[in-house]
Amino acid sequence: MAAALRTHRIACIPGDGIGPEVIGATLKVLETLERSLKTFKLDFTQLPWGSDYYRSQGRYMPTDGIQLLKQHDAILFGAVGDKDVPDHISLWELLLAIRGQMQLYVNVRPVRTLPGIQPLIATPVKPIDWVIIRENSEGEYAGQGGRTHVGQPWECATEVAIYTRHGVGRIMRFAFETALSRPQKSLIVVTKSNAMRNGMVLWDEIATEISKDYPSVTMEKMLVDAMTVRMVKNPHTIDTIVGTNLQMDILSDLAAALAGSIGIASSSNIDPSRQSPSFFEPVHGSAFDITGKGVANPLGAIWSATEMLRWLKEDDAADRLMSAIEKVCEGNILTRDLGGHAGTLDVADAISKELSQ
């Protein structure tokens, strides 16, 4: 008798802009992977949430959206953002609502030089292989602040960053655990604690406290401005990086560009306790300039799907998918952001072909 397939329930939110294109490509390769391995099944719920939904319903997801998501094992997400809706509305109603309400407090952003992709750094001593750990629930994205005297010359706006001992402690511990699991066992704690003398100093203090539990991890502290220079000039000295919500959002875009293109960058929003489903999305946004042209790079979304498979403990599937991505890159089947001429579906088809062999 054939063994029962392991089934995972996946909520799929293609979203806006190029989101549906890159998620469409990802679903294609995942279907091929399922068919060729025959060990697991992904049971997708398609959720049409995003800016079109907002235009018709007045909100980005239904009122019971979070409850619905919680009935799944993972979430696969494309992009959010639309020309007609202010970005702070789309972001807060969908992406940040999901991250915040489900306490997906870890955002893991791996950055690697893939074979066949030319990194932006001219002569790297060794291939880039970093993990950026972004605090995903507080900091500069706390949503605290307000505006007074709107429209007056003396108008005033505040954006208050919140750093809690609990929030910083849990992300720091996750970062040390990640560093410990990697060959180099080194962690760079990034802050701006010379200028920001409260929250950032708390980050430094908590890093020092927690480092005592991880004697085999080499910990360094760096200011975020100096870190940008180090990423460009001495990329081989970097392994695992941890920092605040906004600072790591910025550094991870830089990192993706240095490794070749933001189009390849993947991201996992994780609840390490697994009480909520974790959610996986490419780092890039909606990219209106190329929407509907069939040229978007699907690798960020497909790489995110490999991270999702790993999170679902489908390691064999994740390894095969990553190796197929690498072979296709090595074979120069690249979208134009990487200097190639392939379209979104050409890349997906090439990966599917690799997976079928």
Q: What is the closest distance, in whole angstroms, from the C-beta atom of residue 131 to ligand GGG in the complex?
A: 17
* Coil vs helix vs strand at 297: coil
- Which CB sits closer to ligand GGG, 268 or 352? 268
- Which CB sits closer to ligand GGG, 281 or 337? 281
Measured CA to CA, the distance from residue 28 to residue 159 in angstroms comes to 42
Among 124, 122, 267, 248, CA closest to 192: 248
- Which CB sits closer to ligand GGG, 219 or 264? 264
Asked if 79 interacts with ligand GGG (CB under 6 A), we say: yes
Asked if 282 interacts with ligand GGG (CB under 6 A), we say: yes
List Cβ neighbours of 162 (8 Å cut-off, separation of 6 or more): 138, 139, 142, 144, 199
Asked if 281 interacts with ligand GGG (CB under 6 A), we say: yes
- Which CB sits closer to ligand GGG, 95 or 258? 95
* Coil vs helix vs strand at 204: helix
Residue 241 sits at the vertex; the CA angle it makes with 235 and 243, to the nearest 5 degrees, is 130
Q: What is the closest distance, in whole angstroms, from the C-beta atom of residue 79 to ligand GGG in the complex?
A: 4
Asked if 21 interacts with ligand GGG (CB under 6 A), we say: no
Among 119, 171, 166, CA closest to 329: 119
Q: What is the dihedral of CA 246, 204, 237, 251, to 10 degrees?
A: 0
Choose, by CB under 6 A, the member of 20, 285, 298, 343 that binds ligand GGG.
285
Q: What is the closest distance, in whole angstroms, from the C-beta atom of residue 357 to ligand GGG in the complex?
A: 30
- Interaxial angle between packed helices 299-311 and 19-37, expressed in degrees from 0 to 180 and rounded to the nearest 10: 50
Q: DSSP secondary-structure letter at 113?
A: P
Of 248-267, which residues contact ligand GGG (CB under 6 A)? 249
Q: What is the closest distance, in whole angstroms, from the C-beta atom of residue 5 to ligand GGG in the complex?
A: 29
List Cβ neighbours of 41 (8 Å cut-off, separation of 6 or more): 5, 6, 7, 8, 34
Of 161-180, which residues contact ligand GGG (CB under 6 A)? none
Listed ranges 63-71, 161-169, 278-286, 321-329: which one lies at the site for ligand GGG (CB under 6 A): 278-286
Asked if 80 interacts with ligand GGG (CB under 6 A), we say: yes
Which residues would be at the binding site for ligand GGG (CB under 6 A)? 79-81, 91, 95, 249, 281-282, 284-285
